[in-house]
Structure 1
Amino acid sequence: MAKQKKSKFWDIVARLILRNKIGILLGIITITILLSTQWKYMRFTYTEANLLPDDHEVNIEYNNFLKIFGEEGNLIVLGVKDSTLFTVEKLNAWNSLSDSFRASKEVESVVSIKDLQKLVKNTEAQKFDLEPFIKDSVKTSKDIAILQNELFNQYPFYDNFLFNTETKTVRTAIYLKKELVNTAARKDFVIETLMKKVKVFEDTYNLDVRVSGMPYIRTLNAQNIVDEIGMFVLAALAITSLIFFLFFRSFRATFISLIVVCIGVMWTLGILGLLKYEITVLTALIPPLIIVIGIPNCIFLINKYQHEVKLHGNKVKSLQRVITKVGNATLMTNVTTASGFATFIITESKLLKEFGVVASLSILAIFILCLLIIPIIYTFLPYPKDRHLEHLNKRWIGGFVDWTVRMVKEKRIAIYSTTLGLIIVCIIGIYKIKVSGSLIEDMPKKAEFFSDIRFFEEEFNGIMPMEVMIDTKRKKGVMKSTTLKRMNELEDLIIETPELSRPISVVSLVKYSKQAYYNGNPKYYQLPTKQEEAFILPYAKNSTSGETNLLNNFVDSTGQYARITTFMKDIGTDKMERIEENLLNKINNVFPEERYNVSITGKALVFQKGTKYLVNNLALSLSLAIFLISLFMAYMFRSFRMIIVSLIPNLLPLVVTAGLMGYIGVPIKPSTILVFSIAFGISVDDTIHFLAKYRQELQANNWKIKKSVYAALRETGVSMFYTSIVLFFGFSVFTISSFGGTVALGALVSVTLLFAMLSNLLLLPSLLLSLERSIANKQILKKPTINIIPIDSDDEDVLEESEEKK
């Protein structure tokens, strides 16, 4: 009766699976086909990852800015630093290249040297007329000399925008249409038009053209993500199947496992499409993750099947025991792994929430697929050959397990000393960890567009936009002299900040207006005095470029809001916080709160704030993972002491990894934040297997603790080693990525899981032996809520006889 109760549920599951083979296979095929129809809804992200909740004040400020001034990240820049550009042929060709982009439907406007306009005073109309620097084309070297003198010596308004007066670097600005900049049209323009034309120009005139700007960077970055999905999947399949084959020496078993994980990947992509989620740098990791996590499931199930066949030779009985005895344990370990990923759902970050949802659903899906497909396929196949079962007797694996047993028996003090030493050293390392909120830090360092980013940082102090928006709280308040002077004071601070580029705003236009009023004399590039305002400001207000008033680039249509645009270098969170603090102090001193609302925003700042937000939520996410798994342990073992003992060997690898990050200089950032919850959710699987087997051995060995610990260690050591090796090399696949964050994620999770294996094989049994009297309470461990590893029939008979004697 006891046997029936313990295995009733899984006996029913086994019967259902083995008696409905055809129906289940048809069902899996049907679901796979249905999910594959959702692939068409998968979308690749066309914007940076927004790490903040939609209702966060930083997002609200940014969206308010976009509502008033439109998309600020729509600028692509082309740059050339080459003295030979200033020849008649090459300069005209450069201007023609810039002109050619105007015809593209995705382009709103193009500003190049040829488009630069001089403000020329029109006294009669009381406005400035615009006169081009180059009317048609340059015809002689004398024309070029005149142009260079004007550009580099007489018009500071354009300095650091289209040229650098010190290095003579020249660039062209291409503004994409704001409504298209975050759509697939941007990719078409960048890949099919921009890059091809630039390549032809470079080859023809032997000039090195640098290209950058947020739309360009996003496009190539997204393309790298897409390219790497296939690379990761193939690499994960290759390395995990190779390791699997080396363990089992069976093409049949390897092929079955590949079928299972490939279907799992198809389901994952279907879930992404079904939920209409974008493929980001994080969700792109899920398909290979499913392969890496799915293969250990296959190892457990196939290993158990082959062990049973070797034991008694009955195929049906073997498959039934695979489901009843391994199914429950595999379910529990997959649930804990899914829980580690699911904790990201509570972060309120859309990016991490989507990652958590898809990853946790996919992990549960791969478990179901493994449990259904593997036993069913083996019902149609002949018995394994003797050579397929040889791995069950591998001496080198036995040698590794014997070493762990010997260490636990004889070197427990050394294990504790090493653990304590590691903790102390790693805590010191943790204090060295830095936080990084860089938009470009994880981008491929070897990519050409990354070196172009550094080029523009050096020549023009960055390409990542930062905006200051001034609300004067009244219409036409921007052009008041007091507002312009306050803005000028703030701009002086921005100019003094080496990490920021020279700002451009309505202040720059008003200064240029005064210069133009005094016939272009550069010494008058300054704000008008009180007396000059009356006759200079009307000129600025009336100046137009074609159909567009020049003020519209810097002031909204009501004249209430103004913007100051600057660009920032790729800097760390600490520097950015210092710069923001300095700017806010200046703003508070210069702009009275009762008269102005001033906010600092822009994509770079939003990303910085998002990183800090995630770091603050890291503790919450990890704490939830620990809490959920602790509840799970409590539900299984009904022992608070066992919870503590089980958590110690799994928290230790996290401390080691955090310390390692501090020592080798890997910062906390959106990609590396994932490491801790993922690794904890996976590493605790070994603990569950070991403790479940330990409890079983205690019952079988009449509560003899030492004998039970060593028996559990020998029994689970092999499977822990197999799965840990697969996981280690599986996650190592991510180190081939060109994205720094993905490389760090793969390397850190791999190292963490390796430490977790050693911790569970050495520290956990050592703790059980050292604390044996306080932990091994019969009443606590006798009847668990969940029987993780059902007892074999022979062992169960022995236990029942023992119970009857008592």
Structure 2
Amino acid sequence: MHDYKSKIEIGFHYWGIRVIRYRLAILLMTVVVAGLAAAQLPKLSIATSVESMFTRYDQILTDYQRFRSHFGRDEEIVLLISSSDIFSLEFLTTLKQFHEDLENSLPLLKEVSSLANAPYIGSVDSGLRVGGFLDNLPLTEEEAQQYRQRGLSYPGFQNLYFTPDGKHAIVVIKTQAVSALSADGLRLRGYARGVRGAEKHPPPVAQQSISQVENIAVIGIVEAVIKQYQTPDFSIAFSGTPVYQYHVEPMIRANMKKMCIAILIVSVLFMPLLFGRGSGAVLPPVTVILGLMVALGLMALLSIRFSLTSSMLASTLLSIGLTAPIHFLVVYYKYQKRVGKFRGIIATMKHSGFPITMTSITTVAGLLAFSFSDIAPIADLVNFTIIGLLAILVFTLVTLPALLSILQVVSGAEQGEADYEASIFNRTLLALGRLGVTRPYLVFILFLAGTLVGGFSISQLHFSHNQLHFFTEDSDFMRQVRLIEAQTGGLRALEVLIDTQRERGIVDHELLQAIERLDIHLKSQTDIQGRAYVGRTRSLVDLIKKISCATTGRDQAPCPLPEDDPALAEQFDHISRIVPEALRKYTDADLGLGRLTAMMYWRDAADDVDFIARMREYAAALFDSGVKVVVTGVVSINSGIIHAMMTTLAIGYGMGFVLITALMLFAVGDVRLGLLAMIPNLLPIIIGLGIMGYLDIPLNTYNLIGGSIAIGLAVDDTIHFFHNFRRYYLKSGDINFAVSETLGSAGRALLATTLILVASFWMRLFSDLKVVADFGLVMGITLFVAFLADVLLAPALLRMFYGTGQKDSLKRFDVPRTQSV
């Protein structure tokens, strides 16, 4: 059965010879690859838009793009202007100037909406006058008071242009939905400025969504204009999804840099202590950085942008990528001491080439199942982590030995080895192995009890996708969000499209009544704590009623819909003549599509899942079978992420476990021993998930693949342990001796990788982002438990599996490790 492993080891033996023979060519090729990858790095960018969360052909994204093609971007910048009197002469004059400055300054502008340009239908001697509310500013305070009466009584102005208490004016900025950057990203298209006379529509080709660079430019100009007008009596707060993206992008960028630097510092500080020489501190990070450059370079070449989730790519690779070069160097330094540099490289290749390859492949297998996730950032993170790990494997087995072959043998190595043999690290490993072998049932019961406790806490796990977890409640951004929500009734849009699938299909009295009932239903829904989901709504029905009230001279009293279809058709024709721009906000050119917008409070998307599901059911029963109801918008997309996370978790963990088990059987070379080896890998994952449940850390897009990464890393150490154990057990037939020799040789690599990985993940505790800190805490604990499972539980399981073995062999635990590899 083990003949194939012997052949593979011989193959690695000859591979080591070839690497030494062609070392200069290999190093030259490495420099070329690194240079090509580095040349692509400036192209990397960060995406924070909601549509970047899904793959291009996902139905959720398809529905959202269809909505945007008709009605534009639903992500608005909302400004709330507080004043002692928003209808005073001074305020109205300043508001109009502020409005005009925004219109004249902002690029990519679609429209600015405020009292300054609010559509107002007034009666004049010749009939009706349609224009902006402040087309003609009042000249005196008396005239300003007349404007107050008109504004407060005009239907539809409240909650749209000012708050119901009349103390805050509302300004809404909408930008274009698609990017104005040219294909090469270096130029702006003709419609970029968004001013009169410019090209109004993008070219009829596929366009990218507005980029983060453009969003930063827009928000930066908004801030500059606000700064000019900000006074105690013209106090401006602003927020919205574009503002959120503006604030989050630099936080993600800063966190990436901070974590990468911290992890590199950890590896450079820890490894000299473990290896006893400087090369051990330099070569593993260099190997990992080469693999990281390949992954990032390919990511830039393919125009894949970072998100919060995929931004952990660099820090993750810098952490988990160290395992392969560390295992290689631990064995190489031992052989180097005994047989010299070149023979040491060849012997290391034969001894550890196969387990190093298998450990990398098992880590890849744990991640591979997540590469098909519908959540684009998770798929991107996994795919490029896999590419980075495979690149690190190649550099470990090709570039690292080539580099070692031209380095001089480090003096003092023997003293370093002797120091390790006498160190507390080595003595602790041997003591743990002795405990596992001598007290197997006690160790097994302790681990089983911990697993049962963890399993109980898993029931408390829940999913989450909360965009606001970046901010504390006392941050300036959150204060503005809560203020605007309290006064306006919500910032996030849930869009409902009613598609009649026929021309002039919405000119139907019964259909409009159904939309009105849906509107009322949405505003009546509350969560289990009695909080409303929806703060305010606007729809085609509101527009019809508003125009009806304005043309008949009625005030805020409810105006009914036209009672029959002919009267309704006449009303639509009337609206299309006097305010066609307003009509286009709620329907398409053929009058076959209707729109209802529900503005919802900003909360965790997991809290909206049931509400949206119930709303879909209610809408499906409300409309005829020939009417198609599509629910989309920012809220719907975030809710869809929760469903995608559930699917990804089930498929990813299930498939990952099957793949890793199969690879474990292949690596160990024995079916029963391979299945036994999976036990020390599963228990830490259960305990880790239990810790998340106990600490109320939710599953989100950032930590969803944490269990897969953890089991992949745990399997790495388990493969090295069982590979070496099998080797020594076949030679001696003695469990105690085999465990002792395994911990004396491979144990050093297990300890080194565990300390580096745990320290690297725990460095995330210093992150400014709570989601990153939570992930680091749980991963560090899980990996530490996995290490204990390998050096303590695995020997106990082997003792239980093989029996007592030789009775007098326990003294071998005290044999010096100098002759073992």
TM-score range, shorter chain: 0.7 to 0.9
Q: CA deviation at 1:485?
A: 1.5
Q: Distance in 2 between matches of 1:113 and 1:76?
A: 16
- Of 675, 684, 692, the residue aligned with 2:723 is 692
2:575–2:583 CA contact under 8 A, matched in 1: yes
Report the 3-state secondary structure (helix = DSSP H, G, I; strand = E; otherwise coil) of the residue aligned with 2:122.
strand
Instruction: Give the alignment of 1:21-100 within 5 angstroms.
Output: 21-45=23-47, 47-48=49-50, 50-52=52-54, 54=56, 56-67=58-69, 69-83=70-84, 89=90, 92-100=93-101
More divergent stretch after superposition (765-774 vs 363-372): 765-774
Which stretch shifts more, 252-261 or 272-281?
Answer: 252-261
1:240 pairs with 2:247: no
Q: Give 1:169's aligned amino acid.
A: H
Alpha-carbon separation, structure 1, partners of 2:256 and 2:675:
39
The DSSP-based 3-state class of the residue aligned with 1:209 is strand
In the alignment, the residues of structure 2 paired with residue 37 and residue 738 of structure 1 have an alpha-carbon distance, to the nearest angstrom, of 30
Contact 1:85 1:91 in 2 (8 A): yes
Q: Distance in 2 between matches of 1:261 and 1:683?
A: 19
1:294 and 1:370 in contact (8 A); partners too: no
How do residues 115-194 of structure 1 correspond to structure 2 at under 5 angstroms? 115-121=117-123, 128-137=128-137, 146-151=146-151, 153-166=152-165, 168-180=167-179, 182-183=210-211, 186-194=214-222
Q: Matched residue of 1:134: which SS?
A: coil
1:489 matches 2:490: no
Q: What is the CA deviation profile of residues 336-369 of structure 1, one whole-angstrom value per residue up to 9, with x for unaligned ones?
A: 1122222212334433332222111111111222
Question: Which moves more between the two structures, 649-658 or 44-53?
Answer: 44-53
RMSD: 3.2
Find the partner of 1:683 among 714, 725, 735: 714
1:292 aligns with 2:319: yes
Match of 1:510 among 544, 549, 565: 544
* 1:317 equivalent in structure 2: 343
1:507 partner letter: V
The AA in structure 2 aligned to 1:716 is A
Shift of 1:614: 2.5
Q: What is aligned with 1:558?
A: 590
**The one of 726, 739, 742 aligned to 1:709:** 739
- Classify 1:494/1:190 alpha carbon distance in 2 versus 1 (closer, same or farther; 3 Å): same
Alpha-carbon spacing, 1:556–1:307, altered in 2? closer, same or farther (3 Å):
same
- The alpha carbon displacement at 1:429 in A equals 1.4
| Distance in 1 separating the partners of 2:554 and 2:26 | 82
Query: Counterparts of 1:357-436 in structure 2 under 5 Å?
Result: 357-386=383-412, 389=417, 391-436=419-464
Shift of 1:84: 7.2
Q: Distance in 2 between matches of 1:142 and 1:124?
A: 25
Q: Report the alpha carbon displacement of residue 413 of structure 1 after superposing the two structures with TM.
A: 3.4
- Cα 1:378–1:503 change in 2 (3 A) is same
Q: Say which of 350, 354, 358 aligns to 2:380.
A: 354
2:287 maps to which residue?
Answer: 260
Match of 1:9 among 4, 8, 11: 11
Q: Does 1:270 align with 2:297?
A: yes
1:723-734 aligned within 5 A: 723-734=753-764
Q: What is the deviation of 1:158?
A: 2.5
Are the counterparts in 1 of residues 437 and 799 from structure 2 also a CA contact under 8 Å? no
Specify every segment of 5 or more residues in structure 2 that has no aligned partner in the other structure, as ranges: 180-208, 526-531, 807-816
- Residues 155, 549 of structure 2: 8 Å contact kept: no
Distance change (3 Å), C-alpha of 1:540 and 1:747: farther
Structure 2 counterpart of 1:756? 786
The separation in 2 between residues aligned to 1:342 and 1:775, in whole angstroms, is: 40
Letter of the structure 2 residue corresponding to residue 102 of structure 1: E
Q: Is the contact between residue 432 and residue 662 of structure 1 (CA under 8 Å) also seen in structure 2?
A: yes
Per the TM alignment, residue 230 of structure 1 is displaced from its structure 2 partner at its CA by: 2.3
Please name the residue that 2:814 is paired with.
none
Give per-residue Cα distances to partners, 1:229-270, cap 9 Å, x unaligned: 322222221222222233335444323334333333322221
Q: Using the alignment, how far apart are the partners of 1:794 and 1:423 within structure 2?
A: 38
1:686-712: per-residue Cα shift (whole Å, max 9, x none)? Answer: 1101101110111221x1223323432
**DSSP-derived class of the 2:321 partner:** helix
Letter in 2 for 1:155: Y
Aligned to 1:612: 643
> Structure 1's 417 and 276: CA in aligned 2 closer, same or farther, altered over 3 A?
same
> 1:32, 1:266 within 8 Å by CA — same for their partners in 2?
yes
Matched letter for residue 554 of structure 1: Y
What TM-score do you get using the length of structure 2 for normalisation? 0.86
Cα distance in 1 for residues equivalent to 2:166 and 2:436: 67
Kindly, what percent of the aligned residue pairs are identical?
A: 19
How big is the shift at 1:376? 3.2
Once residues 612 and 571 of structure 2 are traced to their aligned partners in structure 1, the CA distance between those partners, rounded to angstroms, is 31
1:301 pairs with 328, 331, 342, which one?
A: 328
Contact conserved, 2:495 with 2:596, CA < 8 A, in 1?
A: yes
> CA separation in 1, counterparts of 2:39 and 2:703?
33
Question: SS at the partner of 2:164?
Answer: coil
CA contact (8 A) 2:270 2:281 kept: no
The structure 2 residue matched to 1:600, chosen from 628, 631, 644, is: 631
Task: State the match for 2:114 in structure 1.
Answer: 112
Q: Distance in 2 between matches of 1:248 and 1:207?
A: 65
8 Å CA contact retained: 1:494, 1:501: no
Q: Secondary structure at the match of 2:630?
A: strand
SS in 2 for 1:470: strand
1:211 and 2:213 aligned = no
Deviation at 1:98, TM superposition (A): 2.7
TM-score of the superposition, structure 1-length normalised?
0.87
Amino acid at match of 2:390: L
Query: In 2 relative to 1, CA 592–15 (structure 1 residues): closer, same or farther, beyond 3 Å?
Result: same
In 2, Cα distance between the equivalents of 1:324 and 1:330? 11
User: Offset of 1:48 from its aligned partner?
Assistant: 2.1
CA pair 88-385 structure 1, distance change in 2 beyond 3 A: farther
Quote the Cα distance in structure 2 between the aligned partners of 1:651 and 1:720.
Answer: 18
From the superposition, tell whether residues 722 and 344 of structure 1 become closer, same or farther in structure 2 (CA, over 3 Å): same
Report whether the alignment pairs 1:636 with 2:667: yes
Shift of 1:17: 1.5
Distance 1:667 1:214 in 2: 23
Counterpart code for 1:159: Q
Distance in 1, matches of 2:572 and 2:50, equals: 41
- Rounded to whole Å, the distance in 2 between the matches of 1:744 and 1:207 is 41
Cα offset, 1:528, TM superposition: 4.5
Determine the C-alpha separation between the residues in 2 that align with 1:774 and 1:632: 29
Range that drifts further, 707-716 or 331-340: 707-716
| CA deviation profile, 1:288-335 (whole Å, cap 9, x unmatched) | 2222123333332333333334445x2333333333323332222112
Q: 1:521 aligns with which of 551, 555, 567?
A: 555
Distance of 1:53 and 1:5 partners within structure 2 = 43
Q: List per-residue Cα deviations over 1:735-767 (Å, max 9, x = no partner).
A: 444444333332222221111111222222111
- Against the structure 1 CA distance between its residues 519 and 46, is the aligned structure 2 distance closer, same or farther, given a 3 Å change threshold? same
**Could you tell me which amino acid in structure 1 is paired with residue 314 of structure 2?**
P
Correspondence for 1:780: none
Q: 1:744 matched to which residue of 2?
A: 774
| Maintained 8 Å contact 1:543/1:549 | no
Cα distance, 1:775–1:393 mapped onto 2, change above 3 Å? closer
Q: Separation in 2 of the partners of 1:461 and 1:394?
A: 68
- Tell me, in whole angstroms, the C-alpha distance in 2 between the residues paired with 1:276 and 1:37: 14
* Equivalent AA in structure 1 for residue 120 of structure 2: K
The whole-number CA distance in structure 2 between the counterparts of 1:590 and 1:201 is 48
- Secondary structure of the equivalent of 2:409? coil
- Following TM superposition, by how much is the alpha carbon of 1:379 offset from its aligned partner in structure 2, in angstroms? 3.4
Pick one of 703, 712, 718 that aligns with 2:748. 718
Q: Go from structure 1 to structure 2 and tell me whether the alpha carbon gap of 1:746 and 1:201 turns closer, same or farther (over 3 Å shift).
A: farther
Residue deviations 1:537-571, cap 9 Å, x none?
Answer: 257524545xx432111111111111001122234
